[in-house]
Amino acid sequence: MTAIITATELAHDLAAEAPPVLLDVRWQLSVAKAAGAPAFDGRAEYTAGHIPGAVFVDLDRELASAPGERGRHPLPDLAEFGAAMRRAGVSAARPVVVYDGGQGWAAARAWWLLRWTGHPDVRVLDGGLPAWQGPLSADVPVTAEGDFEPAPAAAGRLDADGAAALARAGVLLDARAGQRYRGEVEPIDRVGGHIPGAVSAPTNENVGPDGRFLPAVELRDRFKALGVSGDAEVGVYCGSGVSGAHEVLALAVAGIPAALYVGSWSEWSSDPTRPVAVGADPQ
């Protein structure tokens, strides 16, 4: 099973007798929101037009819990997450396809959460809504309650200590923009820089100009150049566990398993006792 699906494949699957559950997770990072100002409203965009049959999922409220010491997008309460997924029609035996506005970060967060909590068949629409060539609908579908019960895996998730250890013993990739990794700018969090030992690997370099993932062979070559050889465990972090999920998805496309540090830099940097490295050198 692949981690992504093309728009053509999705159109075919939606026309089948047993179509996948379709989730719309339009969201985008907002510096204004981090400062307490109003932000992008994905629900309004969903209401204006979505792929027919799609159910809106709110990243901030259903794919994360309230921001705090554990970061800006900490793990959601799993009971509440499961209830939200069941309301959206998610069942263990039915495939799920997730899409967003094209950046891919929010869809990847939903993909990662569902996969980590045990759903066996979840894919992301490659290129998001802009890749969809079919009609859009303003109708909100009436969905039957699903039966999905989250069962988190023992592997696939890192905490702060685990991320620090992996930076020393394996490969820890930093999915943020290079300027934030180097500590040249930090528009959101307390301090700029990176976890000592982490390697800069901006996730936007995993996609082409159209927002679609590079071919798997090109992704494998990219990650190999960053030190991902297959001989060591791989982990990813970002600002708050959203764009990092996109890099975990890119690694999955390349056939490389990786864990996500969900708290990411927003959690790490909130504790002044944790070390911070700056500059282009991982150390």
Please give the Cα distance from 117 to 127 (Å, whole number). 24
Q: Which of 273, 68, 106 is nearest to 191 (CA)?
A: 273
Tokens of 267: 């959690």
Could you give the CA distance from residue 155 to residue 132 in angstroms, rounded to a whole number?
A: 34
Is residue 238 annotated as a catalytic residue, yes or no?
A: yes
Residue given tokens 């490969």 in the structure block: 171
Name residue 175's amino acid.
Answer: A
Would you give the distance in Å from CA 168 to the centre of its chain? 24
Whole-angstrom Cα distance, residue 60 to residue 122? 20
Identified catalytic residue from 238, 242, 254, 256: 238
- Amino acid identity at 122: V
- Tell me the catalytic residues: 238
